[in-house]
Amino acid sequence: MMNPESGCFSAQVTKRCRTARDRKPFELGIFCCLAALALLTPYSAAASGAKKIILDTDPGTDDAMALMLALNSPELDVRAITVVPGNVTAAQGLENALRMVSLAKRCDILVAGGAQHPLFQKLITAEFWHGKNGLANIELPPSQCKVDTRFAPDLIIELIHASPHEITLVPVGPLTNIALAVEKDPSIVQLVKEVILMGGSIKGGNVNASAEANIYNDPEAAQIVFQAGWPLTMVGLDVGDKTLFSRRHLEQLGQAHGPVNDFIYGVTKFLVELSEKFGDTGTPMYDPLAVGVAIDASLVTAPAMHVDVETRGEFTRGETVANRRNEIERNVLRHFPEGDRYVIEGLDKVAPNARVCIDVQAEKFLQLFVSRMQGR
């Protein structure tokens, strides 16, 4: 904010300016502006060192929390928000993303629509869990931001080539857009810094007994992404279900007010009440936790495993199958007088392709989330 005495823009230097009242007006102005510059220089340096991310999202309720966490975290430099269908349709998701970016006063961020449906199956939307509009039935003001007309996978490819080895992809919805980008330009795999995705589980699903929702909504796309060959961290149900936003956290969040904080309070209140209807003590922070890992990887324990996505099973389609030991038995076909059979002759190593989150410092993350929503 402008300092009326000196013409400088930082109110933080007012005290310094007042201690120099005996200076001449011109000297006073120079002194105060240099003081402001000194205060701003560390911030600028921190901003330049922020992690560049592309948030690929199907804007429902937990996506809203993830998006606002990303936009309110100085550790992250959000280069684009790309929209994929999942929790809601592609059109509704794009409208939600634009309204949220406008609410946050961040029309500088690129927002682009992508795929309209999964690669090979019908879209499954989740208004049951997210409200009719995907945002807990909260009607945000019309967006002042404009959509980027580029196709989201193309935008992803362009941004990766523009900043090689610097972009972290953070997909928190079905992986359709990311898979389409890889299929169109496989060279991006070697140019991406890392992928931190919300999806999967190694202990059972939330759609059914085996599959997590984001992976279930496009298993073929997920298999492409997991097998691409880039550094990948899977933030799944195993840690999301341990990170419950409860009424205690809701009360904390309600102690501050502002456009973003009040919106997220409404979203979390909707989710906490919905969770309580089903006997839970809080709502899992699935998507925001993936952003949390992008902010601070030390929040989670994530051993390396080889993960495949089941695409054909009648009961297991969409399951993320993790090899915890990273080895498989070697079966060799042998011929015997009584007939042929396979014989186990040893173990073969399997190269890990993902870091799978299995534990989380839940309360540390929840306090981080609350503080960022409150602008701290």
For residue range 70-125, list pLDDT tens digits in order.
Answer: 999 999 999 999 999 999 999 999 999 999 999 999 999 999 999 999 999 999 99
DSSP-derived secondary structure for 118-167: -SSS-----HHHH-TTSSTT--PPPP-S--B-S-HHHHHHHHHHHSTTTE
**3-class secondary-structure state, position 284:** strand
Q: What is the tens place of the pLDDT at every residue in 223-266?
A: 999 999 999 999 999 999 999 999 999 999 999 999 999 999 99
> Smallest Cα–Cα separation from 235: which of 346, 357, 374, 143?
357
Q: What is the tens place of the pLDDT at every residue in 170-197?
A: 999 999 999 999 999 999 999 999 999 9
CB burial of 89-104 (b: ≥16 within 10 Å; e: otherwise) equals bbebbbbbbbbbbbbb
SS (H, E, C) 359-374: EECHHHHHHHHHHHHC
Q: Is the dihedral of CA 37, 38, 39, 45 positive or negative?
A: positive
Residue 16 predicted with pLDDT over 70? no
The single-letter DSSP state of residue 285 is -
Question: Can you tell me the distance from the alpha carbon of 291 to that of 73, in angstroms, rounded to the nearest whole number?
Answer: 10
Q: How many CB atoms lie within 10 A of CB 156?
A: 30
Question: Can you tell me the distance from the alpha carbon of 319 to that of 310, in angstroms, rounded to the nearest whole number?
Answer: 5
pLDDT band (50, 70, 90) for residue 48? low
Question: Can you tell me the distance from the alpha carbon of 353 to that of 85, in angstroms, rounded to the nearest whole number?
Answer: 26
Note the pTM of the prediction, 2 decimals.
0.87
Q: What is the tens place of the pLDDT at every residue in 228-240?
A: 999 999 999 999 9
- Residue given tokens 């341990």 in the structure block: 242
Q: How many CB atoms lie within 10 A of CB 288?
A: 31
Using CB atoms within 10 Å of the CB of residue 297, give its burial: 0 to 12 exposed, 13 to 18 middle, 19+ buried: middle
